[in-house]
């Protein structure tokens, strides 16, 4: 993560996940000539990124985030009812509910020109994230004359051209001067090629083997090769996504690196934790992974994170609600709490390896997560329902919708939750090159809803696991949502819809 560089001749910049010098070169061209061609040059930056760049000499600010929203960037606009002047703030971690904040849309870049109005600026280190390894800087511009603002929005595909999705933001009183559509290519649009069953049967096994080799290559970008004392954390449900990451992490990491599998369960008693649906599956998966690395018995370590109702309430009030903000639904709370306790990683080791010290995994700088696998490979029940209702055309539309909204539904939030614990959550399934390859494949190779639940979803991944020797009970385990698998939803025991505002995280 880039630090803020002050006193630069061309203004102040905050770059997260992008080389700052390269960003300046691209952004300065956009400031000079904001054409679609110049903005499209940002596509060369891969992985998760977000930035803001303020040019005082021009009175302009440029900001945005990557196509999948794998980091976080939020904004708010407030109007002074007495002076009718505006203030505009950008932050990666706003930490406030119901204060007019909204997330910058994934895959969008914005250019604002404040004209000749005599506005002021403030740049402050974010007060909520204090980990010295993660430096976040907030930009506030105030005393802005709204009549002098010029505004350009550059976004991928037509779905982003409407400002309606910012209705919860104070920006809604304000029209976009110009909106421009960028070409996302194959990143947001899977192949429309169709295959007959005999073609699927012929290609599936070779493609599954290629899936393994490409994902392994992707993991080489995320896992340090020469840092044996840096443990690898994996948020682990025992499901197919995390089992695959765990197997390939063993093949990529330094031989002396410990791989720490984090299993989260909620309850009040040991019996509650043991009965959380994901817990026994985690243990079975852990035993299988240890067998694969026998006779060595210290490569994989399983850590049980058990959370009581009292600890949940305390941590939710102290920090989790701030990390989830500005999102506030019951589903955001449920997933956010599971991810927060998982990334904090404070628990007890299950079946410790004798005479082998467990490394300081709680302070690891990152954790691997399975985000993106469900969206790319048809892992949700709504994908099967859509296929049954409208066939492959409906399924295709649903997959495209997943890719174009999941950053703001999930991945922005999860990034904030992770960094509140000092950890970057890394999602190998969302690696640009891997997504591009997956999206080049016909849907029939990735999912087959003529097969039963637990087989048809994410079919290519399940077949790949069988190539790696994974037993059927793990390779064909049906998906469980993390809030149910961890027993988080049962602990709350409330009759709420996932889309309802969560009263436990909203201010009184």
The crossing angle, in degrees rounded to 10, of helices 197-222 and 240-252 is: 50
- Look over the chain and give the mean of its residue pLDDT values, rounded to a whole number: 90
Q: At what angle do helices 240-252 and 459-467 cross, to 10 degrees?
A: 40
Q: Measured between alpha carbons, how far is 290 from 269 in angstroms, rounded to an integer?
A: 28
- Whether 233 shows a pLDDT value over 90: the answer reads yes
Among all chains, which residue has been given the structure tokens 């985000």?
371
Residue carrying structure tokens 């490394």: 359
**pTM summary value:** 0.93
Q: What is the pLDDT of residue 508?
A: 67
Residue 251: C-alpha distances to residues 122, 225, 256, 424 (Å): 47, 11, 12, 22
**Contacts made by residues 134-137, CB under 8 angstroms, sequence distance 24+:** 134/1, 134/419, 134/422, 134/424, 135/1, 135/3, 135/4, 136/14, 136/16, 136/91, 136/92, 136/93, 136/419, 137/4, 137/14
User: Would the pLDDT of 99 be above 50?
Assistant: yes
Which of residues 185 and 326 earns the better pLDDT score? 326
Place of tokens 């079975």: 284
Distance CA 180, CA 106 (A): 15
Cβ-contact 105, 412 below 8 angstroms:
no
pLDDT in tens, 11-65: 799 999 999 999 999 999 999 999 999 999 999 999 999 999 999 889 999 999 9
SS3 150: strand
Is the distance from CB of 403 to CB of 436 less than 8 angstroms? no
Closest CA to 144 of 164, 165, 166, 119: 119
Q: What pLDDT does 103 receive?
A: 94
Q: How far is CA 317 from CA 96, 321, 370, 396, in A?
A: 12, 6, 27, 40
Q: Count CB neighbours of 401 within 10 A.
A: 15
Of the pLDDT bands very low, low, confident and very high (cuts 50, 70, 90), residue 304 is very high
Residue 4 banded pLDDT, cuts 50, 70, 90: very low
Torsion of CA 163, 168, 173, 178, to 10 degrees: -20
Contact in structure between 458 and 466 (CB atoms under 8 Å): no
Q: In whole angstroms, give the CA distance from residue 223 to residue 298.
A: 18
Kindly report the CA angle at 162 between 161 and 164, in degrees rounded to 5?
155
pLDDT tens for each residue of 251-297: 999 999 999 999 999 999 999 999 999 999 999 999 999 999 988 87
Q: Counting every residue, how long is the chain?
A: 508
Residues 128/74, Cβ–Cβ less than 8 Å: no
The 8-class DSSP code of residue 353 comes to P
Condensed to tens digits (0 to 9), the pLDDT of residues 422-472 reads 999 999 999 999 999 999 999 999 999 999 999 999 999 999 999 999 999
Residue 352 has pLDDT above 80, yes or no: yes
In order of 51, 83, 160, 390, 443, the CA distances from 136 in angstroms are: 10, 31, 26, 45, 39
Quickly count: other Cβ atoms within 10 Å of residue 414's Cβ.
24
pLDDT in tens, 126-136: 999 988 889 99
Dihedral (CA of 355, 361, 363, 365) sign: positive
């Amino acid at each position: 993560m880039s630090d803020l560089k002050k006193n630069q001749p061309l203004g102040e910049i905050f770059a997260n996940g992008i080389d700052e010098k390269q960003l300046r070169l691209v952004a300065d061209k956009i400031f000079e000539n904001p054409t679609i061609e110049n903005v499209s040059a940002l596509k060369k930056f891969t992985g998760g990124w977000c930035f803001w760049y303020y040019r005082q000499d021009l009175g302009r600010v440029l900001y945005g985030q990557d196509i999948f929203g794998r980091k976080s960037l939020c904004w708010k606009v407030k109007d002074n009812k007495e002076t009718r002047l505006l203030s505009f703030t950008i932050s990666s971690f706003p930490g406030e509910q119901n204060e007019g904040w909204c997330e910058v849309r994934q895959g969008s870049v914005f250019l604002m020109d404040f004209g000749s109005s005599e506005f002021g600026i403030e740049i402050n280190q974010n007060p909520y994230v204090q980990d010295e390894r993660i430096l976040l800087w907030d930009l506030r511009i105030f005393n802005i004359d709204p009549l002098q603002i010029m505004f350009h929005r550059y976004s991928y595909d037509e779905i982003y051209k409407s400002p309606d999705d910012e209705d919860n933001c104070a920006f809604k009183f304000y029209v976009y001067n110009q909106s421009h559509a960028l070409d996302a290519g194959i990143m947001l649009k899977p192949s429309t090629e169709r295959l007959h069953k005999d073609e699927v049967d012929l290609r599936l096994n070779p493609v599954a083997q290629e899936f393994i080799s490409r994902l392994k290559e992707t993991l080489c970008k995320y896992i340090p090769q020469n840092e044996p004392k840096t443990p690898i954390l994996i948020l682990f449900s025992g499901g197919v996504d995390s089992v695959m990451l765990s197997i390939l992490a063993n093949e990529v990491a330094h031989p002396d690196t410990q791989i720490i599998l984090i299993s989260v369960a909620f309850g009040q008693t040991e019996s509650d934790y043991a009965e959380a649906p994901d817990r026994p599956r985690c243990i079975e998966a852990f035993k299988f992974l240890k067998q694969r690395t026998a006779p060595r018995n210290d490569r994989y370590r399983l850590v049980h994170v058990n959370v009581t109702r009292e600890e949940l309430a305390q941590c939710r009030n102290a920090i989790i609600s701030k990390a989830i903000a500005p999102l506030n639904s019951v589903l955001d709370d449920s997933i956010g709490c599971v991810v927060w306790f998982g990334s904090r990683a404070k628990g007890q080791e299950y079946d410790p390896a004798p005479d082998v010290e467990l490394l300081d995994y709680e302070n690891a700088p990152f954790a691997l997560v399975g985000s993106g696998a469900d969206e790319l490979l048809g892992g949700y029940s709504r994908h099967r329902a859509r296929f049954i209702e409208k066939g492959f055309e409906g399924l295709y539309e649903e997959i495209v919708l997943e890719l174009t909204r999941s950053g703001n539904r999930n991945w922005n939030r999860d990034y904030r939750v992770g960094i509140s614990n000092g950890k970057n959550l890394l999602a190998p399934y969302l690696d640009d090159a891997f997504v591009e390859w997956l999206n080049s494949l016909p849907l029939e190779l990735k999912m087959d809803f003529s097969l039963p639940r637990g087989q048809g979803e994410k079919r290519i991944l399940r077949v790949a696991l069988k190539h790696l020797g994974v037993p059927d009970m793990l390779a064909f385990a049906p998906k469980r949502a993390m809030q149910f698998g961890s027993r988080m939803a049962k602990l709350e025991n409330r009759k709420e819809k996932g889309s309802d505002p969560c009263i436990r995280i909203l201010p009184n």
